[in-house]
Chains A and B, each alone.
Chain A
Amino acid sequence: MKSLACISILLIATLLASCSRRADSVRWVNDIGEANQQADRALSEGNLVAARSILGRVAEKPLPAGIAQQDGLVVRKDACFRLAMLELQAGRPKIALEWADRGLGLDRRADLFTANLLVARATALEAQGKDAKAAGSYKRALEINEKLLKAELKKDSGRVKS
């Protein structure tokens, strides 16, 4: 009987932990989605201060246990790209470069977000007169972009054939 009671407690605790974990993940997804929409609104109104604050929170937001690490990285990299572009728009290329480098420091796999960060980095370097360094980042961005474009065209031709 004692064993049964222990197992029941363990099962209930597991179910509660599972529910809480799921609720944290749902909250994270909703918060991040909502924050990006708020940032869009702030940018469309020309409110760079509000957009900066919202996107800064997205970039710093801790990842709940139920969210895959890779998904968290994608969201953070994208927030860093957005912040870098915002700082370029605000005429602060140094800060823009910091955000781009911060995003690239998170993960450098060849995806859309890394290519975006490399573009932002190159633009920030160019704005500071560091053309040679900027060219290197543009080149790497174009390499990733070409790879992604090839994959998309391959998928497209597969769709046409079928």
Chain B
Amino acid sequence: MNNREVPEREKSEAEALASALDGDGARAVAENMPTDALEVAGLLRVSGEDAGLSDERRDAILKKVFFSTETEKRRVSWLRWLVPAGGLAAATAILALTFTAGSGPTPLPQPDKSLLETQAAVAAGNRQAVAVLQTKMRQYRREMYKTFTENYGG
């Protein structure tokens, strides 16, 4: 036998089932007995009186019906949560994608040797190189904005 503690709800349902078997259908309905089990209880009570069904056999049939109804109830309640939970998971995934995509810095083009050499010349005091640095920076900037456009769209 199973040694688990029987919850209060199951106890009251079992009592209601017993009442149904004893012919007290009104009480069984009031106790919210599972409908399937209630119907079988009614059938068993009627057939048991005439067909000579033993008490043990009757109890075994009822137990089977009673627990299969309970399992189905649990399955339905689990499915009821599956839809919102799935939706919530999808929403979270979309949020995560939305707020992470494109938020990393754009990998900028590496400044070429010629630009860096010009910059070094200006830093070393060559005034003639200033205009060249500005021209090379214009070219570099174009490359940089092209990269930004690729990263962010446009």
Contacts and interface: CB of A to CB of B under 8 A. Distances in A.
B113 A156 contact: yes
Interface string B103-141: 111101011110111011011110000100110011011
Interface in A112-162: 112, 115-116, 118-119, 122-123, 138, 141-142, 145-146, 148-149, 151-153, 155-156
A47 interface: no
Chain A interface size range: 35 or more
A42 interface: no
Contacts of A148: 111, 116
A74 B111 CA distance: 14
Contacts of A32: 145, 148
Interface residues of B, number: 43
A14 B83 contact: no
B154 interface: yes
A7 interface: yes
B98 interface: yes
A18 interface: yes
A40 B139 CA distance: 11
B95 A14 contact: yes
A149 B106 CA distance: 21
A66 B129 CA distance: 37
B106 A68 contact: yes
Nearest to B127: A123
A90 to B, nearest CB: 14
A26 interface: yes
Contacts of A33: 145, 148-149
A116 B137 contact: yes
A60 interface: no
Given A7-B91, A25-B153, A152-B116, A122 B123 contact: yes
Given A7-B84, A11-B90, A14-B94, A138 B125 contact: yes
B102 interface: yes
29 contacts: A4-B84, A4-B87, A7-B88, A7-B90, A15-B94, A22-B102, A22-B152, A26-B154, A29-B148, A36-B141, A36-B145, A66-B103, A66-B152, A68-B102, A71-B106, A71-B148, A85-B130, A112-B115, A112-B116, A115-B123, A119-B133, A123-B130, A138-B123, A141-B119, A142-B124, A145-B120, A148-B111, A152-B113, A153-B113
